[in-house]
């Protein structure tokens, strides 16, 4: 029994090592979110300043908790429309941790989104962003199969025969991205592309980061008509949305529906690639005096179903109080996309 238990531990460590190595050395993909709009600037820099008032958002994700080592990420962002600049500014900081801290990536970005009012109810934003990131691998926190005994398990102090660097590895790089949105009172469409310069993120050899393309679309369907020009944010509605992401050979399609019955918001999404299903995502949130909090759970439907433990994500948003701003005689409308 002891030997079998040790064998299972070895398999578990190997799984973590392989996952970490894939993240660190392969053509790495960007971090993964379920509440895509809880960090809107990461999805598309053209969302900067489109909420009507300034906003601060924060989120935390714990992915596949039953997989040893764990995957987690934290994110915080801020954006604000500034009339003197004829557009919005924004910034975010993201931290991605894998393998219990064996691998981490911390990135920060700043963006500007110019806003043009095409008519009384139609807007166009064009954005550019610059970013900086640091990737880090700590070899000392890894254990390898040759450090395990079939009966005793991990043998403390036993060296590994793996050919590893003597010190942790750091990689620093800069990056550039662009985005655009077109929207009206009840709909929006957007596109973005980041990693345009394809920075080299490899530790032990060249590894160019693939450009991440994204397209978003959605809107709000209200349950009752209104004869007022400005809708109350408490009006009940349905919000269908779809997001497509492609980075190298990786593709992801997210589509779902939110419903608001003030102050509660709930939603269901489905995530898949073109060849495989991934997860059904359930979300529940609430608003209270400019503060929004939401929780989502990923019910894994891929081959990881039995052992992943799903994924948990929580988001918190704070809207900075402000008055509706005007551009000449025209009002600056917020974009009708979700807040989570």
Task: For residue range 37-95, list pLDDT tens digits in order.
Answer: 888 999 999 999 998 789 999 999 988 776 666 688 999 999 999 999 999 999 999 99
Can the peptide bond before residue 263 be classed as cis, meaning omega within 30 degrees of 0? yes
Q: Tokens for 86?
A: 């004829």
| Percent of the chain residues topping a pLDDT of 90 | 48
pLDDT at 313: 95
Q: Look at domain 2-331 and name its CATH class.
A: mainly beta
CA angle 214, 220, 225 (to 5 degrees): 160
| Model pTM score | 0.82
How far is 255 from 244, CA to CA, in rounded Å? 9
Beta bridge partners of 181: 125, 190
Kindly give the residue spans of alpha helices, DSSP state H, lying in 183-329: 305-308
How far is 84 from 87, CA to CA, in rounded Å? 8
Sequence-distant (6+) residues with CB within 8 A of 157 are none
pLDDT at 223: 85
Q: What secondary structure letter does DSSP report for 208?
A: B
| pLDDT top residue among 146 and 311 | 311
Where do the domains of the chain lie? 2-331
In the predicted model, is pLDDT for residue 21 greater than 70?
no
* Most confident of the ranges 130-134, 326-330, 335-339: 130-134
pLDDT at 201: 86
Asked which of 192-201, 203-212, 216-225, 284-293 is least confident by mean pLDDT, the reply is 203-212
Sequence-distant (6+) residues with CB within 8 A of 71 are 19, 62, 63, 64, 97, 98
How far is 301 from 272, CA to CA, in rounded Å? 10
Q: What secondary structure letter does DSSP report for 200?
A: B
Q: Tokens for 39?
A: 């960090």
In the predicted model, is pLDDT for residue 243 greater than 60?
yes
Task: Answer whether 93's CB lies under 8 Å from 132's CB.
Answer: no
Task: Answer whether 201's CB lies under 8 Å from 28's CB.
Answer: yes
In the predicted model, is pLDDT for residue 11 greater than 60?
no
Task: Give the chain's mean pLDDT.
Answer: 82
pLDDT at 164: 65
Alpha-carbon Rg for the chain in angstroms: 22
In the predicted model, is pLDDT for residue 308 greater than 70?
no
């Amino acid at each position: 029994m002891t030997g079998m238990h040790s064998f299972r531990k070895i398999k578990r460590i190997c799984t973590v090592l392989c996952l970490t190595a894939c993240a660190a050395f392969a053509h790495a993909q960007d971090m993964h979110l379920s509440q895509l709009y809880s960090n809107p600037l990461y999805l598309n820099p053209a969302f900067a300043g489109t909420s009507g008032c300034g906003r601060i958002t924060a989120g935390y994700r714990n992915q596949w908790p039953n997989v040893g080592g764990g995957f987690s990420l934290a994110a915080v962002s801020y954006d604000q429309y500034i009339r003197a600049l004829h557009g919005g500014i924004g910034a975010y900081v993201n931290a991605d941790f894998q393998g219990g801290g064996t691998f981490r990536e911390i990135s920060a970005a700043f963006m500007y989104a110019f806003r043009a009012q095409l008519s009384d109810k139609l807007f166009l934003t064009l954005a550019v962003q610059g970013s900086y990131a640091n990737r880090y691998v700590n070899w000392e926190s890894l254990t390898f199969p040759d450090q395990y005994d079939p009966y005793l398990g991990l043998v403390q102090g036993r060296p590994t025969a793996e050919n590893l660097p003597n010190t942790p590895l750091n990689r620093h790089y800069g990056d550039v991205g662009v985005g655009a949105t077109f929207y009206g009172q009840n709909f929006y469409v957007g596109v973005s592309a980041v990693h345009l310069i394809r920075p080299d993120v490899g530790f032990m050899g060249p590894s160019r980061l693939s450009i991440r393309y994204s397209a978003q679309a959605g809107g709000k369907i209200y349950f009752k008509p209104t004869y007022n020009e400005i809708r109350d944010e408490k009006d009940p509605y349905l919000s269908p949305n779809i997001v497509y992401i492609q980075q190298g050979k990786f593709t992801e399609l997210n589509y779902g529906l939110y419903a608001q019955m003030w102050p509660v918001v709930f939603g269901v999404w489905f995530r898949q690639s073109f060849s495989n299903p991934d997860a059904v995502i359930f979300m529940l949130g609430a608003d209270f005096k400019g503060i929004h909090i939401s929780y989502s759970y990923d019910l894994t439907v891929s081959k990881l179903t039995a052992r992943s433990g799903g994924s948990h994500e929580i988001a918190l948003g704070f809207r900075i109080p402000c008055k509706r701003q005007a551009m000449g005689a025209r009002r600056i409308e917020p974009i009708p996309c979700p807040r989570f």
